[in-house]
Amino acid sequence: MASYLETATEIAREAGALLAHHFERGISYDLKGDFDLVTEADRASEKLVVERLHSYFPAHSVLGEEGGLREKAGEYCWYVDPLDGTTNFAHGYPAFNVTIGLERAGEMIAGVIFDPIRQEMFAAELGGGAFLNGRRIHVSKAPRMDSALLATGFPSRKRHENVNVHFFHQVSMMSHGIRRSGSAAIDLAYVACGRLEGFWEFGLNPWDMAAGLLLVREAGGRTTDMKGGPAELRGPHVAVTNGLIHNELLELFGEVFEGRYRYPMPPVTSGR
């Protein structure tokens, strides 16, 4: 019998093909909030993934971004982001994925992130390591923030409440730079495979992070919240790194949370 991970991989590949097909045809979108986009592809991908999961695992709960929680008694719950990177997708910007994670009794045990444009399948199982297209991956060995490339994101919803720009400025001043891919799952996958040294974000949802957090841990990285507490799927923020730069990053975040800035923002008039 196929393992949970093998089944999730197969479903993600099928959903990824569906996303790629919609992407090639061109996309129109609806709005869930002022700037919060949803496309036909989000809904079609979620329908496919949820139908497959229900047919293979009828006793498991499923929480999907578009359809909410389909709850069953029992200890297994699947988290599904049928299209992570919807804003990219809707603009024809080729950076998006489908991600599926499985939790058993509160612990993540399997997860996949599939990027159908690059044909990259990231997969991890608790205690079994992390893989990219079947090859073992590890976090990077960069030892310090001054040799690190990081990523972050900004939410579509409630963006007026988001304080991340303060953290963005400080991190940008002491690292090689910050990428903003528009896909949290890809950012997490890239930390796992060493393309990035770190990632942080406020206000993510469980389906954005479920697979990616497991992937980073299985690749040897460290996952916490931005204050050093445990990384919670429903927590207010998350910080993940290759482990080596973690304390340095949290120290900087601690200062910003207290309103102390190492690098003041330059006045606009200085940028003529």
Contacting positions for ligand IPD (CB under 6 A)? 81, 84-87, 153-156, 182-184, 201, 204, 208
Q: What is the smallest separation between the CB atom of 65 and Ca ion, expressed in angstroms? A: 5
Question: What whole-number distance in Å separates Cα of residue 212 and Cα of residue 214?
Answer: 5
Applying CB under 5 A, which of residues 115, 197, 201, 208 lies at the interface with Ca ion?
208
CB 48 within 8 A of CB 14: yes
* Token pair listed for 248: 């340095």
Question: What whole-number distance in Å separates Cα of residue 93 and Cα of residue 37?
Answer: 14
Distance between first and last Cα of the chain: 65
Partner from Ca ion, ligand IPD, none binding residue 108, C-beta < 5-8 Å depending on class: none
Which positions from 54 through 113 interact with Ca ion, judged by CB under 5 A?
A: 65, 81, 83-84
Nearer to Ca ion, 132 or 210 (CB): 210
Nearer to Ca ion, 81 or 248 (CB): 81
CB 245 within 8 A of CB 144: yes
Binding footprint of Ca ion, residue count (CB under 5 A): 5
Partner from ligand IPD, Ca ion, none binding residue 154, C-beta < 5-8 Å depending on class: ligand IPD
Q: What is the smallest separation between the CB atom of 216 and ligand IPD, expressed in angstroms? A: 15
Q: What is the smallest separation between the CB atom of 62 and ligand IPD, expressed in angstroms? A: 16
Question: What whole-number distance in Å separates Cα of residue 175 and Cα of residue 169?
Answer: 10
Q: What is the smallest separation between the CB atom of 112 and Ca ion, expressed in angstroms? A: 14
Across 27-40, b (16+ Cβ under 10 Å) vs e yields: bebeeeeeebbbbe
